[in-house]
Amino acid sequence: MTGNVLGLDPPYSIVAGDLGEGTGSRKLYRFAAEELKTLHPKVITIHYILPIKILMDKFVKSLENWENRPILIADAGGMYVAKSSGNASAFDLFTPDPGEMAFLADPEAEHPAYVRHFISEVDLEAVPKLIKAAYRYHNASKVIIVKGATDFIAKDGEIVTTISEPLIPALEPIGGTGDTITGIASAFVYGGYDLVEASILAARVNRIAGLLSKPTPATRISEFIQHIPEAVKRVLAEEAKEGLQ
């Protein structure tokens, strides 16, 4: 949806069924390490995948043989295995929620389940400290979007900006409204925006799309997504207006 507004080619989506046993995820890792370069991707976003450290490490090492290194973005399982395999610093953008930020800040945990006792205590005041800790332990990408009631955009351990308006509490119980930030940011990066600018735009677009969707707890993510094009147009128009002032 974002790419359509920006006039970009549609993305490839590479999927494999996996019920938790790892069969599909192993196929994805193998494809990424051995065949993905034939598509010549500029941006690779890794999302839900079973964390298998040795295979993620193999994929990251395979990038050394690529003619042009792609921009790497990760959320969910892709982010977990990037961190636990010691490859977080090889990534350009992570999109954690505050609980996942606690995982990135924990030098011992290999999966968010192992910091669950702490995750329940995460609040907005804790996020800046978690960001600092994640970078200190080299468990963070170059840029991070911490998505929540307030979105934090950080680069190299420093918070660049925060975005908290408009606040749409009804979005919280709708599954996928954090995933959309990852997709929107990926499109902006592919469209030539730098990582920080793409992150800020994605956070703003996601909130405006939420506002336009007038959500209730029964709203489906597919309904939300339909409003992304209008949200992109509005945010880019606001950016252009602000740039003229």
For the cut 60, the answer to whether the pLDDT of residue 115 exceeds it is no
pLDDT of amino acid 244: 57
CATH T-level topology, domain 2-239: UDP-N-acetylmuramoyl-L-alanine:D-glutamate ligase (3.40.1190)
| Average pLDDT estimate for 189-218 | 95
Determine the Cα–Cα distance for residues 219 and 211; give it in Å rounded to an integer: 12
Neighbour tally for 223: CB within 10 Å: 13
Strand 143-146 to 93-94 pairing: parallel
Percent of the chain whose pLDDT exceeds 70: 93
Q: Which residues contact 69 (CB under 8 A, 6 or more apart)?
A: 63
Q: Buried b vs exposed e over 110-137: b needs ≥16 C-beta within 10 Å?
A: bebeebeebbeebeeeebbebbbbbbee
Q: Which residue has the higher pLDDT, 240 or 152?
A: 152
Lowest mean pLDDT among 91-95, 111-115, 174-178, 180-184: 111-115
Q: Where are the domains of the chain?
A: 2-239
Determine the Cα–Cα distance for residues 157 and 134; give it in Å rounded to an integer: 8
Give per-residue pLDDT as tens, 48-101.
999 999 999 999 999 999 999 999 999 999 999 999 999 999 999 999 999 899
**Mean pLDDT estimate for the chain:** 91
pLDDT tier, 107 (very low <50, low <70, confident <90, very high otherwise): confident
